[in-house]
Structure 1
Amino acid sequence: MNEKSDYYIQLNSKVEKMLRTSEFLGSGHNGIVYSLPNQRVIKIFKNKRICSKEYDIFMKTRRSKFFPKVYEHGDYYIVRDYASGERLDKYIKKHGINKEISHNIIRLIEEFKKLNFKRLDIRCKDLYLKEDFSITVIDPKNNYSKKVIYPRHLMKGLNNLGVLDEFLSTVSDENSKIYELWNFNFKQYLEKNIK
C-alpha cells in the first residue's frame, strides 16, 4: 500500500474497484485515505480492531452534525463523507482564531458530553473547518474507552499555535465553570510536562 509499510491487507473486489477510481489523500498511523466520487472517502486500516472501533464511534455519532456520514464498512475499511474545508491547525496558522471558531469548538466538546464520550478531547489535525466555521471530526479515537475530562490535546495544539489565550477568553465568556476546569487542568499538565 505504501513503501514504508510492512503489512498486506486482502481487499475484496468491490473495494479494489473503488480504489481504481480513487485518488490518494493521505496516510497516518492507522491507515491510508483515498477520495472517491460523490464527495466520499475510503479509509483503509492496517488493523481490523482499530477499524471496528472507529466504525463503532461513527455509528454512535451518526446523528451528530460534527461527524461524517458512513456509507459502508468492512473488516479493514470505512467509506464515509469527505470532510471539506481546511484542517483546523493549518487554518489557524494562516488566519488565526476567532470567536466563532472558538464557539464551535466549545459546542463540539459539549457534543462529546452529550454523546457520552469518556474522552473529551481531539487533536487540531483531526478537525476540519468549513467556510462557515462549522467543524467536522475526521479521526475519532478512544472516545468511549479512554477518560480525559478536558480537551488537553486540543488545548496543547492551540497553545503551540499561539491562540490558546484567545480561545480560553471565549470559553470564560461562555461558561466560567468550564473555563476554570479546562484552564486549571491544562496548567497542571504544562507544569508536569515542561521542565
Structure 2
Amino acid sequence: MSRHFTNPIYLSERVENIIKNSDFLGKGNNGVVYRIDEQTIIKIFNEEKVCKREYEVLRRSRKCTAFPKVYGHGRFYIIRDYVDGVRLDKYLNKNEFNFQLAESIVKLIKDFKKLHYKKLDIRCKDLYVQPDYSIKVIDPKNNFDREMPYPRHLMKGMHKRHRLDKFLSYVKEIDPKLYEFWSENVFVYLEKIENSK
C-alpha cells in the first residue's frame, strides 16, 4: 500500500501498522488522512511544526463540541474523531442559508473568541454541516498566532457563492452589534479585492 506522503518521515511501527490497516481518505498541503474505523482517522503531517500547531489548537479547543476529539498524537500524526457531514463550500453551492446554520456559525466564531483565538476566521472548506445544521471543524490553523478579528475568509467564501447577504441578514437578527462590525469590515475587504483586479 502506498503511504501517499509528500516527504519521507519516520513513523513508529505502531503508526505504520495503523496506516496499513486504514483506508486512504485524502491528501492536502499539510499531509494525508487515513480512516482507521467508523469513528476515527489518523492525520499524518509533512512537517512536525504544523502537526504540533494543529494539535495545540485541538487541545486548547477540546471543550468546544465543534472540534474533533483527539485520541493520540506524535511528532508527525494526530489520531482524532472522523468528521462526517457536508463541507460548507459544497453545501452552499447547492443550498441556501437557513437561520439554524447561520446561528451555528455565529456561535462557532463566538466560541473562537471565548477560546482566546487571535484569528476569528476559518475557511468554508474546513467546516462541515451536520444534519441538524450544527457545524464541525477540521484543519484548524494558526488560530493562536495570526490576528483576524472577524471571519474574513469565511465570508469571502460565502460571497463567492452568492450567500453572504443572506448570512448577514441572519447575523443581524442574532447579534446586531456583531452584524455591524462584520458587515462593515467584510465589505471594505471585498471592495479592495474588486478594486485590485
Q: Which residue pairs with 2:91 in the alignment? A: 91
Specify the code of the residue in structure 1 equivalent to 2:79: V
Partner-residue secondary structure (3-state), 1:34:
strand
What is the CA deviation profile of residues 39-91 of structure 1, one whole-angstrom value per residue up to 9, with x for unaligned ones? 10110000000100100111101111110000000000000000011111111
Q: Which residue pairs with 2:130 in the alignment? A: 130
Q: Which residue pairs with 1:120 in the alignment? A: 120
Q: Which residue pairs with 2:4 in the alignment? A: 2
Using the TM superposition, name which of 91-100 and 62-71 deviates more. Answer: 91-100
Q: Mind listing any 5+ residue stretches in structure 1 that lack a counterpart?
A: none
Q: Which residue pairs with 1:145 in the alignment? A: 145
What is the CA deviation profile of residues 13-61 of structure 1, one whole-angstrom value per residue up to 9, with x for unaligned ones? 1111111111111111111111111410110000000100100111101
Q: Which residue pairs with 1:101 in the alignment? A: 101
Asked if residue 49 in structure 1 is aligned to residue 54 in structure 2, the reply is no
Query: TM-score by structure 2 length?
Result: 0.95
Q: Which residue pairs with 2:11 in the alignment? A: 11
Specify the code of the residue in structure 2 equivalent to 1:153: H
The offset of 1:96, in angstroms, is: 2.2
Cα distance in structure 2, aligned partners of 1:127 and 1:33: 16
Specify the code of the residue in structure 2 equivalent to 1:183: S
Cα distance in structure 1, aligned partners of 2:91 and 2:191: 28
Specify the code of the residue in structure 2 equivalent to 1:158: M
Using the TM superposition, name which of 160-169 and 33-42 deviates more. Answer: 33-42
Partner-residue secondary structure (3-state), 2:42:
strand
The offset of 1:95, in angstroms, is: 2.1
Q: Which residue pairs with 2:190 in the alignment? A: 190
Partner-residue secondary structure (3-state), 1:140:
coil
Partner-residue secondary structure (3-state), 2:26:
strand
Q: Which residue pairs with 1:64 in the alignment? A: 64
How many percent identity over aligned positions?
48
Q: Mind listing any 5+ residue stretches in structure 2 that lack a counterpart?
A: none
Aligned length: 193
What is the CA deviation profile of residues 134-178 of structure 1, one whole-angstrom value per residue up to 9, with x for unaligned ones? 111111001011010000000000001111000000001111111
RMSD: 1.1
Q: Which residue pairs with 1:177 in the alignment? A: 177
Using the TM superposition, name which of 32-41 and 139-148 deviates more. Answer: 32-41
Asked if residue 165 in structure 1 is aligned to residue 165 in structure 2, the reply is yes
